Amino acid sequence: MRIDVLTVLPGLFDCFLKEGVIGKAISSGKVEVKVHNIRDFTTDKHRVVDDVPYGGGPGMVLKPEPIFRAYDELTKEGEKPYVLLTEPWGEKFNQEMAVELSKKPRLMIICGRYEGVDERVKSLVDREVSIGDYVLTGGELPAMVIMDAVLRLIPGVLGNLESLRADSFSDRGLLGYPNYTRPAEFRGMKVPEVLLSGHHKKIESWRKEQSLRKTLERRPEIIENLKRKGLLTKEELE
Ligand SMILES: O[C@H]1NC=Nc2ccccc21
C-alpha cells in the first residue's frame, strides 16, 4: 500500500514513521508512506497556505490552490488514490472502516487544519473522517491514528497474525481478554491458575468468558447487537 499525506506540519510525522511496527513496515518496504508539505505547492514568495474566511468569522481556512496543485502533482502517475480528509465533523472512524481502507492499494490523507479547509477541496475527497467528538488543533494526529489502525492490518506488517486475531474489536467486536506475562505473582497479585495449566481448551474458554464479561460490563450494546444478529452461540449466551 502507498499513502500520501498532505499537511502543513510534516514534522509531526517524523517519529511516527520511524518507530515501532509502522517504522518497520516502512523500512522493510511492506508499505510506502510519503508526507508532503502543502507549503511546497504554493507559488507565492510567502508560501501562503491559508487565508481569512469569506463572510468573516474567526481563524483561517486552508486555501484550495496549493492542495489541488499537490493532488495534481501526486496523481500524475500511478493508481488514483482513495482520498481521505480529516475533519472534526467527518464520519466516525472505526475498525470496520480501518479494514475497508486497508484493502485500498493507495490512500491520500489531507490533514485538515485551522478552522477547516476550503469547501472546494472536498471535490477531491472520497471520505471525510473524524476520530472523535472533540476538537483537536489539526488533522495530523487523526491522520496518524488512521494510518496506525490501517497499516497494522496489511498482511506481513504485524509479525504474529495471532495478535491480530486476538485483537479487541476484531472477534465480532468483542473486547479483548486480560493478558498476563511473567512473573506468576507480582506484589501479591497472582496470574489466574488456568493460564498456567497448559490446558489449551480451558484457556480458550476462560478467555472467551472474560471477553464476553468485559464486553457486557463496558459495552453492553455490542452484546445486544450480536444477540440481535444471532452471532452469539448458545454457550456464549449462558
Ligand atoms: O479527526 C477529527 N477529530 C477531532 N478534531 C479534529 C480536528 C481537525 C481535523 C480532524 C479532527
pLDDT along the chain (238 residues), means of 10: 97 97 94 98 97 94 97 95 96 95 98 88 98 94 98 88 56 90 97 97 96 95 93 85
Contacts of 117 (CB under 8 A, 6+ apart): 61, 62, 64, 67, 85, 110
Catalytic residue selected from 65, 115, 126, 236: 115
Rounded CA-CA distance 150/132 in Å is 17
134 within ligand 1 shell (Cβ under 6 A): yes
pLDDT of residue 163: 59
Distance of CA 201 to the CA centre of its chain: 33
166 within ligand 1 shell (Cβ under 6 A): no
pLDDT of residue 233: 86
112 within ligand 1 shell (Cβ under 6 A): yes
Catalytic (active site) residue 228: no
Catalytic (active site) residue 88: yes
The candidate with the shortest Cα–Cα distance to 8, out of 138, 176, 184, is: 138
The candidate with the shortest Cα–Cα distance to 147, out of 36, 26, 39, 66, is: 26
Atom of ligand 1 nearest to the CA of 131: 1
Report the SS3 class of residue 49.
Answer: coil
Cα–Cα distances in angstroms (integers) from residue 208 to residues 75, 174, 182, 194, in the given order: 46, 9, 22, 13
pLDDT of residue 167: 58
Catalytic residue selected from 65, 118, 126, 167: 167
pLDDT of residue 238: 82
Rounded CA-CA distance 190/61 in Å is 55
Annotate 139-152 with b (16+ C-beta within 10 A) or e (fewer).
bbebbbbbbebbbb
- Please name each of the domains of the chain with its CATH number: 2-151 (3.40.1280.10), 161-237 (1.10.1270.20)
pLDDT of residue 105: 97
pLDDT of residue 32: 97
pLDDT of residue 116: 87
CA 127–ligand 1 middle distance (angstroms): 14
pLDDT of residue 168: 55
pTM: 0.90
Catalytic (active site) residue 81: no
Rounded CA-CA distance 212/218 in Å is 10
ipTM: 0.94
CB atoms < 10 A from the CB of 15, how many? 12
Closest C-alpha to ligand 1, atom 1: 130
